[in-house]
Homo-oligomer: A and B are copies of this chain.
């Protein structure tokens, strides 16, 4: 392994760290994650060295509006996987805020019962100022977890915003969690959640409106392809209130054409994450999706897209660094501020000058 040309670019301490990482040392994992999260010296070389270990883990994105119960659901899934003897690495996005102390703590308490298990590693991202942005740093931390050898890598993000959605959508399987209180499903779509989802979970399904939301989601998924209303997709819900059978809980109708061209019929599940209801079905549906990804070639395609995207993001990050740190762009901007403010020059002119300075013809 010492003949690896990339690896020899690593400093001696980083090489030692990588050896401990390769041997399964959780402390080394935590150190490497910190280096990557904070973009500290050597992080790109480390990620480069780890790249060849990637691709084993199944990546599960969990996203949805605040208060949907994503952390509780994540903790439930982790417990489930541990029962099956699978190891889990999880990364949760928590934008830096003077307030997150409290919120983080809440999550941690919910996560507590799994936190002492060596087959589980949970990390909260809190560095908004990460080089290249929080989204990129989060995906890179997911890479580190994958490279470490976890069977499942869970990425949990507050997902209404585009960048948060993008993080979760970079997973192999993206689970969008909604609650009856999330606002009507039209609003959910508006936020772009629809496109990101491989499967929907209506959580807190014992609350009023849960069945209605699940039904609406199922209907919308079909309208999406303009197939009209006659083929409502199979509803995989667990009705926690033993309600009267409705159109969505009736005996399975003949399977309609799947709503996605690629052949995956996006399911709508109901869970009660606090009680654990519906969690076995959720884990099983995720497993079904994993097998479908493999069979359909989608796993390979998603991995390919992820690699190309990573190149683009890394190029953007390097160019930013070159401009603002190495090429005097920051000083040029600083000097231009008075003229900008006075309206003597526009940001477009200043930007053009800085780009010319970075890229001499």
A interface, CB within 8 angstroms of B: 6, 44-45, 47-48, 51-52, 54-55, 65-68, 94-100, 102-104, 106, 128, 134, 158-165, 181-184, 186-192, 194-195, 220, 223-224, 300, 303-304, 307-308, 310-312, 314-316, 318-320, 322-324, 329, 333, 336-337, 340-341, 343, 346-352, 354-355, 358-359
Contacts and interface: CB of A to CB of B under 8 A. Distances in A.
Contact of A100 (B190, B310, B354, B355): B190
A102 to B, nearest CB: 5
A224 B100 CA distance: 10
A102 B134 CA distance: 32
Given A162-B163, A192-B95, A348 B103 contact: no
A224 to B, nearest CB: 6
A44 to B, nearest CB: 5
Nearest to A300: B341
B349 A48 contact: yes
Given A66-B191, A195-B98, A186 B355 contact: no
Nearest to A66: B187
B189 A103 contact: yes
A67 to B, nearest CB: 2
A187 B194 CA distance: 22
10 contacts: A68-B183, A95-B191, A99-B220, A134-B162, A300-B341, A303-B341, A304-B337, A314-B347, A318-B351, A358-B359
A143 B194 CA distance: 31
Contact of A347 (B311, B336, B341): B311
B65 A348 contact: no
Contacts of A350: 311
A326 to B, nearest CB: 10
Contact of A102 (B51, B189, B320): B189
A305 to B, nearest CB: 10
Which of A188, A189, A322 has the most C-beta atoms of chain B within 10 angstroms of its own C-beta?
Answer: A189
A333 to B, nearest CB: 5
Nearest to A354: B315
Contacts of A341: 300, 303-304, 307
Contact of A183 (B47, B65, B300, B349): B65
A165 B161 contact: yes
Given A66-B191, A94-B190, A220-B99, A319 B323 contact: yes
Contacts of A314: 347-348, 351
A162 B161 contact: yes
Contacts of A347: 51, 307, 310-311, 314
A347 B333 CA distance: 31
